[in-house]
Chain A
Amino acid sequence: MIKKIAFIIRSLPYKTEASRLAMTHAIASQTVEIYLEDGQNVEPIVALVGDGVMNGLKSQSAKCYGVSTLEQHTKNGLLLDLPIMYCKEDVERLGLTEDSLIMDADDLGGDMKARIVPMSEINAALATATHLQIF
């Protein structure tokens, strides 16, 4: 049985560890099977909402801190086929566009595409999840 777990990212990146932890916990779903029975698995859903959409901005550089960027984590998530959704209302409110956001991991060889969807669609996805977590 597959259970969906939703990771809802509302925090801005870098000041706190919250959004980074959301992505690292979601990516940990890749190895969760070692603790589960045959046929069991976790399917993460990642939703960037509110100010959290800023985590997906292109051209981040964290060289000054010597840490990986949230851009890289977003790409890694897509590379591992995690469904990633941006809240359309927040993307528009903050003056962002599809061109300004990480929408794929093509350069890493990934197939999954991120989607910009209305909050109503994100809520519909959350309704299908067994558990929700806000970061």
Chain B
Amino acid sequence: MKLAVFKSDFRTGGDMLDRLSAEKLGIIFVGNGIYHAAVKDAGAADPVLQKSANFYVLAEDLEVRGFNASQVPGNVKVVTYDDVVDLIFNEYEKLVWV
């Protein structure tokens, strides 16, 4: 299945993410989930970013927390709400929020 996971928190929800499997996996960082993309905890990139997935981060949620697109790793695409709508309808069939 083509599954998009909205990762809305930083410290929780990872266990659920680890349990799900999909042929095509997209992880969209929203809300406090953006810290996965914006922060290097103890100098290391977040383990979530090592997954075999397409990564996206919502620009608005990034900026409201004091970050900008230049601080996000190259494998994470910065997206708008319009982009998220297109991802939902064009790229992924099933959606979950953790």
- Chain A positions within 8 Å of B, measured between CB atoms, are 8, 10, 49-50, 87, 119-120, 122-123, 126-127, 129-134
Which residue of chain B has the shortest Cβ distance to A133 in the bound complex?
Answer: B96
Could you tell me the distance between the alpha carbons of A49 and B15 in the complex, rounded to whole angstroms? 10
| Chain B contact residue count (CB 8 A cutoff) | 12
A123 adjacent to B96 (CB under 8 Å): no
Give 18 pairs: A residue, B residue, CB < 8 Å, sorted on A.
Answer: A8-B16, A10-B16, A49-B16, A50-B16, A87-B19, A119-B19, A122-B19, A123-B19, A123-B20, A126-B1, A129-B94, A130-B94, A131-B95, A132-B3, A132-B94, A132-B96, A134-B16, A134-B97
Q: Which chain B residues lie closer than 8 Å to A127 at the CB level?
A: 1
Q: How many A-B residue pairs have CB under 8 A?
A: 33
Interface of A is mostly: mixed
Give A133 to B95 CA distance when docked, in angstroms.
Answer: 8
Complex alpha-carbon distance, A87 and B15, angstroms: 13
